[in-house]
Amino acid sequence: MHNFDFVKPSTIADAAQALSHEGAQALSGGQTLIPTMKQRLAAPATLVSLTAIPEMQGVCLGDGGLHIGAATPHAVVAREAKAHYPALAALAGGIGDPAVRNRGTIGGSLANNDPAACYPSAVLASGATVVTNTRKIAADDYFQGLFSTALHDGEIITSIVFPIPEKAAYVKFDQPASRFALTGVFVAKYAGGVRVAVTGASQDGVFRWKDAEAALSADFSPAAIKGLAMESGTMIHDLHGTQAYRANLVKVLTGRAVAAALA
Amino acid sequence: MPKDGGIGASTKRREDVRFLTGKGRYTDDINIRGQLHAHFIRSQVAHGTIRKIDTRDAEAMPGVVKVFTSADFAGVGGIPTGWQVTSRDGSVMLEPKHPVLAEGKVRHVGDPIAVVVAETLDQARDAAEAVEIDIDELPAVMDMKAAVQGGPLVHDEIGSNLCYDWGFVEENRAAVDEAFKKAAHVTTLDLVNNRLIANPMEPRVAVGDYEDHSGQHTLYTTSQNPHVIRLLMGAFVLSIPEHKLRVVAPDVGGGFGSKIYHYAEEAFVTKAAQILKRPVKWTSSRSEAFISDAQGRDHQTRIQLALDADNNFMALRCETYANMGAYLSTFAPCIPTWLHGTLLAGNYKTPLVYTNVKAVFTNTVPVDAYRGAGRPEATFQLERVIDKAARELGVSPVELRRKNFIKPDQYPYQTPVAVVYDTGNYDATLDKLLELSDYAGFEARAAESKARGKLRGFGLAHYIEACGIAPSNLVGQLGARAGLYESATVRVNATGSITVFTGSHSHGQGHETTFAQVISDMIGIDASQVEIVHGDTSNTPMGMGTYGSRSLAVGGSAMVKATNKIINKAKKIAAHLMEASEADIELKDGKFTVAGTDKEKTWVDITLAAYVPHNYPLESIEPGLEETAFYDPSNFTYPAGAYGCELEVDPETGKVEILAFTAADDFGNVVNPMIVEGQVHGGLAQGIGQAMLEHCVFDENGQLLSGSFMDYAMPRADDVPFYSVDHSCATPCTHNPLGVKGCGEAGAIGSPPAVVNAVLDALHRGGFTNVTHIDMPVSPSRVWQAMHG
């Protein structure tokens, strides 16, 4: 690891100020950034920690649904969201291992937008709002491909607002080595319809399976998607699965998520 | 009932007290005053010509003492190979130089090019980024068959990528071909034995130290065999005589084969310490281990089994391409040959066997022995082709095996592949397996799974292993450049306690406990009175170390031999003290008695007399009580066993869940059943890891795709089931004093075919009858592809 400066502001304004300097890099739980720095693949001049800002912490009900501070660790979400949004809490409780869950944060995960991360599927399937220090971004506008988001340089996610669905479930199929999602499907049923978001599978990162959404909005049952086919052309092919395999997983896991949501 | 702490007792491991309380002393815990830190700059391309290495900027950086390149090792030998294989045409294998640091060319990702030595590791790493290296990348040769059909040369100077072309038994080749012509049925199977990365928990570490005034070198290293390193590095690489080179392998956190070999980093720190006159330390990162530790397996094989009309095995024919990687690691040449071809008779009375092995250089990390070493490859192909034959013939895989087993009354059994099995009872282990796994109840369980939409399968594999490779005069004829004896010095102290100096090395096997149990049992003193010392060439006799499940069978036998010398001498002293005939002296429970009398001397009476020889037959025996023995076995030992895997396949995702795994092993006599069970558990986890998860994959340019634990799947606790392990079907080894056979590798040898056979069984039961094989690892994706692809 190269040497770097470290600051830990206690307000969002101070954090934004610190991040405006050349070579500054936001640090939340550090579960991706720190290993990358240890391997000398990243060498920021200054790390700006976002974990000491009170309004970026915690889980509470508020306008528009469940508000989660961006620097809230997964383990806290798993514990505190359980009564309000059990599918989201279960997703958080299934990320990584206890060390990752106690350090890694929801905002860090969303800012990184790893194509195999779990959280993006929940945000997209819930039609959540990503709140930053300057604006509110709809989930449908936020995710823009592998490791790519609508965030500007220096922009800080401060919280995420999740509308609470009638029913929801997340089913993840583990990549055998990393246990990230080889494919993960989040299904959320709202009064206005069903949203299905898929992570881990596509070369373009998390995406909505709109054919399944239409079918499930009409009939929220595993049988409703039986006749659908997931196009495999945009799926990821790697050591752990072919495109056809991932396309199959999307369909199988969607059915299982619907069944789990109904259980 | 075994004596408390003696042979047969499940004594808790004494070494675990220090391991579990953080008091273990590993090589990385060794820090010597004034020590410098080495950082290796490794090739990022698989194949290329080094045009320029400019170290000037780096050497000017803070804390940097020196940047080494191959120019600094000009007078130094290459890393030697410990085994020479002879090809079918009588020519010896091609043996290209393996320099300590790359000379002129790099040949695999990870090949060391230069080393920065600095006051701190961070300074060394910072400076490494300033070393300018200019490499012209060359096309990499990755595929073994392409490599021997005119692919780019890994080593230009040898003119070929074919290291050797070995036939065994070459004289049987025509007879085998003839048998295939006459066969009623021939089963053919093409398969891959997947390349593995050993991944011991402790990465490799080496610390070199040099004493200028005496010319004494010391190397602390993570080794399974410090004397072998002393010999190879001292004699062949650095020209340091043994009395000036001490090699210490302290606590070592697992090896699995990967810490047998002499590595460039060991020679580097030893030489650099001499040049710089300061200690030099190198600790591998995990990422570095992935591209610098010798890897395992990597065979491509076509195996064929010929059967007669009564389903008797007539002949077996095997054609294997074995990947050597870019350089020959220490024992690489013998793994696909003498540790593979000699095991192809398996547990069966197949009268004719022929193996052809082509060893191939590619632009990949070197490959060498990994837990089982050749024997897992032999067992996998044999047990897979038998299962495939049973399916083709419509007969039970259990009965096809049983019909062809060597029977208990046939020992000693001369196989057609040179080795002679001394004992065994394969029907017994098979019966035990079927009983413990409730094979009779399988169909009901399969029906229950089917009702839940899952496909249940049962897979069987029988294995035989050859452990304690020996005798030395034979292995010398086969090309070994080393002896394969083991040594022990048993030092009885004046007040009766015992210190044993063994040439075996313990890095997880529990020798400090089990070896003490043996001595305790032989003399009748408490095991706490026995200390086992290993791992330091300055105080242990020349030994060959620990691998190939040899330690108790070979090292334990040396210790027994030395202890018998001690007992014989002690009896002479006892006879003198009790004025009796030596022939009448008996040793039992730590007491010497004279047969037919009530005369008695304790063990301590005798040991004291030996060191305070006031009343002592000085004219006929020397004072003191210390003996050394070397034991060179007359034959291998042959553990064998039956393994059963029961699993479910999810037909929608291809995910395999192992529900039960049963192992019925014949290890001969067992010294510590708990430790044996632990060894089997560990072996099974590694075998299941190979079968289901682990896979070392390079892309076509030689880049390692599975370069971290993010992509290389090691088995976790929840990937493996609770095991049912039995070793009651024991047929003791007939030619070593303890009647022991070895248990360290069995689990890793027998389990992969059991898992794959079970997956195939599940698929067939689910109607996927056109699936005849799935290569390991049987990942969800591969299983699904086999069903639906």
Contacts of B779 in chain A (CB under 8 A): 176, 240
CB contact under 8 A, A239 and B695: yes
Query: What pLDDT score does A29 carry?
Result: 97
3-state secondary structure (DSSP) of residue B69: coil
Q: Which residue of A has its CA nearest to B655?
A: A173
Distance of alpha carbon B55 from alpha carbon B131, whole angstroms? 5
Distance of alpha carbon B382 from alpha carbon B400, whole angstroms? 13
Q: Residue B549, by phi and psi: left (phi above 0), alpha (psi -120 to 50) or beta?
A: left
Q: Which residue of B has its CA nearest to A255?
A: B652
| CA angle at B329 for the pair B327 and B330, rounded to the nearest 5° | 145
- Distance to chain B for A249, nearest Cα, Å: 7
B160 and chain A in contact, CB less than 8 A: no
A97 and chain B in contact, CB less than 8 A: no
CATH number reported for the structural domain that contains residue B516 in this entry: 3.30.365.10
Q: What are phi and psi of B625, to 5 degrees?
A: -145, 85
Query: What pLDDT score does B470 carry?
Result: 83
pLDDT per residue rounded down to tens, chain A (263 residues): 889 999 999 999 999 999 999 999 999 999 999 999 999 999 999 999 999 999 999 999 999 999 999 999 999 999 999 999 999 999 999 999 999 999 999 999 999 999 999 999 999 999 999 999 999 999 999 999 999 999 999 999 999 999 999 999 999 999 999 999 999 999 999 999 999 999 999 999 999 999 999 999 999 999 999 999 999 999 999 999 999 999 999 999 999 999 999 99
B774, HSE (Cβ side, Cα atoms, 13 Å): 34
Among A178, A244, A249, whose Cβ lies nearest the Cβ of B653? A249
- Residue pair B510/B672 in contact (Cβ under 8 Å)? The answer is yes
Contacts of A230 in chain B (CB under 8 A): none
In B30-102, the DSSP E strands lie at 36-42, 48-54, 64-68
Mean pLDDT per block of 10 residues along chain B (789 residues) reads: 84 96 97 98 98 98 98 94 96 97 98 98 97 98 96 96 97 97 98 98 98 97 97 96 98 96 98 98 97 98 98 98 98 96 97 98 98 97 98 98 97 95 97 98 98 98 93 90 94 98 94 97 96 97 93 96 98 97 96 96 97 96 97 96 98 98 98 97 98 98 97 96 97 96 96 98 97 98 95
Chosen domain end from B283, B311, B343: B283
- Going by C-alpha positions, the residue among A260, A91, A246 that lies closest to residue B780 is A246
At B741, the amino acid letter reads: K
3-state secondary structure (DSSP) of residue B553: helix
Among B652, B710, B781, whose Cβ lies nearest the Cβ of A177? B710
Which B positions 672-701 lie with beta carbon below 8 A of chain A?
692-693, 695, 697
DSSP string, B739-765: -B---TTHHHHHHHHHHHHHHHHHHHH
Q: Which residue of A has its CA nearest to B129?
A: A40
Distance of alpha carbon A162 from alpha carbon A84, whole angstroms? 10
Q: Which residue has tokens 């299905």?
A: A196
Which A positions 26-45 lie with beta carbon below 8 A of chain B?
39-40
Residue at B184 is within a domain: no
Q: Which residue has tokens 């819930």?
A: A126
- Distance to chain A for B717, nearest Cα, Å: 13
Query: What pLDDT score does B468 carry?
Result: 87
Distance of alpha carbon A97 from alpha carbon B720, whole angstroms? 18
CB contact under 8 A, B781 and A2: no
Residues B659, B745: one domain? yes
B705 and chain A in contact, CB less than 8 A: yes
Tell me which DSSP letter residue B367 carries. B
| CA angle at B662 for the pair B660 and B665, rounded to the nearest 5° | 165
Residues B87, B233: one domain? yes
B669 and chain A in contact, CB less than 8 A: no
Q: Which residue of B has its CA nearest to A177?
A: B713
Among B692, B693, B781, whose Cβ lies nearest the Cβ of A242? B781
Tell me which DSSP letter residue B86 carries. B
Best of B199, B285, B653 to substitute, by most chain A Cβ atoms within 10 angstroms, is B653
Residue at B149 is within a domain: no
**Between β-strands B591-594 and B600-602, what pairing exists: parallel, antiparallel or unpaired?**
antiparallel
Helix (H) or strand (E) holding A60: strand A59-62
CATH number reported for the structural domain that contains residue B109 in this entry: 3.90.1170.50
A176 and chain B in contact, CB less than 8 A: yes
At B145, the amino acid letter reads: K
Extract the tokens encoding B112.
Answer: 């060391």
- Distance to chain A for B711, nearest Cα, Å: 5
3-state secondary structure (DSSP) of residue B403: helix
Domain boundaries, chain A: 5-49, 54-162, 167-262
Query: What pLDDT score does B5 carry?
Result: 84
Residues B450, B590: one domain? no
Residues B656, B743: one domain? yes
Distance of alpha carbon A245 from alpha carbon B780, whole angstroms? 9
Residues B400, B449: one domain? yes
CB contact burial B419-444 (16+ within 10 A = b; e otherwise): bebbbbbbbbbbbbbbebbebeebee
CB contact under 8 A, B653 and A252: yes
Contacts of A235 in chain B (CB under 8 A): none
Q: Which residue has tokens 């004046």?
A: B494
- Residue pair B314/B179 in contact (Cβ under 8 Å)? The answer is yes
Q: Which residue of A has its CA nearest to B695?
A: A239
Extract the tokens encoding B143.
Answer: 């595929």
- Distance to chain B for A1, nearest Cα, Å: 8
Best of A245, A251, A253, A256 to substitute, by most chain B Cβ atoms within 10 angstroms, is A245
Distance of alpha carbon B288 from alpha carbon B480, whole angstroms? 30
Contacts of B693 in chain A (CB under 8 A): 176-177
Among B129, B287, B713, whose Cβ lies nearest the Cβ of A177? B713
A178 and chain B in contact, CB less than 8 A: yes
Q: Which residue of A has its CA nearest to B706?
A: A239
Q: Which residue of B has its CA nearest to A3?
A: B122
Q: Is the dihedral of CA B252, B258, B261, B264 positive or negative?
A: negative
For domain A54-162, give its CATH number from 3.30.565.10, 3.30.70.100, 3.30.465.10, 3.30.70.330: 3.30.465.10
Contacts of A180 in chain B (CB under 8 A): 710
3-state secondary structure (DSSP) of residue B726: strand
Among B122, B125, B711, whose Cβ lies nearest the Cβ of A177? B711
- Going by C-alpha positions, the residue among B334, B620, B639, B611 that lies closest to residue B467 is B639
Maximum pairwise Cα distance, chain A: 57
- Going by C-alpha positions, the residue among B189, B245, B218, B222 that lies closest to residue B292 is B222
List residues bridging with B94 in a β-sheet: none
Among A39, A245, A249, whose Cβ lies nearest the Cβ of B785? A245
- Residue pair B384/B390 in contact (Cβ under 8 Å)? The answer is no
B286 and chain A in contact, CB less than 8 A: no
CB contact under 8 A, A242 and B788: no
Superfamily for domain range A167-262: CO dehydrogenase flavoprotein, C-terminal domain (3.30.390.50)
Extract the tokens encoding A209.
Answer: 């399976």
Residues B529, B556: one domain? yes
**How many distinct helices (H) and strands (E) make up chain A?**
10, 12
Residues B265, B310: one domain? no
Extract the tokens encoding B49.
Answer: 């010509």
Residue at B145 is within a domain: no
**Between β-strands B352-361 and B216-221, what pairing exists: parallel, antiparallel or unpaired?**
unpaired
| Whole-Å CA distances, B50 to B71, B115, B147, B154 | 13, 15, 22, 14
Residue at B9 is within a domain: no
CB contact under 8 A, B784 and A245: yes
Residue at B190 is within a domain: no
* Those residues with Cβ within 8 angstroms of residue B128's Cβ, 6 or more apart along the chain or in another chain: B39, B41, B58, B114, B116
Query: What pLDDT score does B469 carry?
Result: 85
- Going by C-alpha positions, the residue among B287, B252, B294 that lies closest to residue B28 is B252
Alpha-helical segments (H) within B159-248:
173-182, 226-231
Contacts of A1 in chain B (CB under 8 A): 122
Query: What pLDDT score does B1 carry?
Result: 59
Residues B595, B664: one domain? no
B267, HSE (Cβ side, Cα atoms, 13 Å): 29
3-state secondary structure (DSSP) of residue B643: strand
DSSP string, B137-154: E------HHHHTTTPPPS
Per the structure, the count of domains in chain B is 3
- Distance to chain B for A119, nearest Cα, Å: 19
CB atoms within 10 A of CB B228: 26
| CA angle at B482 for the pair B479 and B486, rounded to the nearest 5° | 130
For domain A5-49, give its CATH number from 3.40.980.10, 3.30.43.10, 3.30.460.10, 3.40.30.10: 3.30.43.10
Chosen domain end from B582, B613, B631: B631
* Those residues with Cβ within 8 angstroms of residue B345's Cβ, 6 or more apart along the chain or in another chain: B316, B353, B415, B416, B417, B419, B464
CB contact under 8 A, A177 and B697: no
At B70, the amino acid letter reads: S
B211 and chain A in contact, CB less than 8 A: no
Residues B322, B429: one domain? yes
Q: Which residue has tokens 């709809």?
A: A138
Chosen domain end from B631, B646, B668: B631
Extract long-range pairs of A16-20: CB within 8 Å, 24+ residues apart.
Answer: A16/A133, A16/A154, A16/A156, A18/A46, A18/A48, A19/A48, A19/A154, A19/A156, A20/A154
* Those residues with Cβ within 8 angstroms of residue B573's Cβ, 6 or more apart along the chain or in another chain: B606, B609, B610, B616, B617, B621
- Distance to chain A for B653, nearest Cα, Å: 7
Q: Which residue of B has its CA nearest to A251?
A: B652
Maximum pairwise Cα distance, chain B: 86
Among B653, B710, B780, whose Cβ lies nearest the Cβ of A178? B710
Residues B426, B494: one domain? no
- Residue pair A59/A69 in contact (Cβ under 8 Å)? The answer is yes
A249 and chain B in contact, CB less than 8 A: yes
Residues B129, B232: one domain? yes
DSSP string, B657-674: EEEEEEEEEE-BS-S-HH
Residues B503, B627: one domain? yes
Query: What pLDDT score does A150 carry?
Result: 98
B789 and chain A in contact, CB less than 8 A: yes
Distance of alpha carbon B359 from alpha carbon B370, whole angstroms? 17
Distance of alpha carbon B622 from alpha carbon B609, whole angstroms? 11
Q: List the domain range (segments joined by +) for residue B454.
A: 299-469+635-788
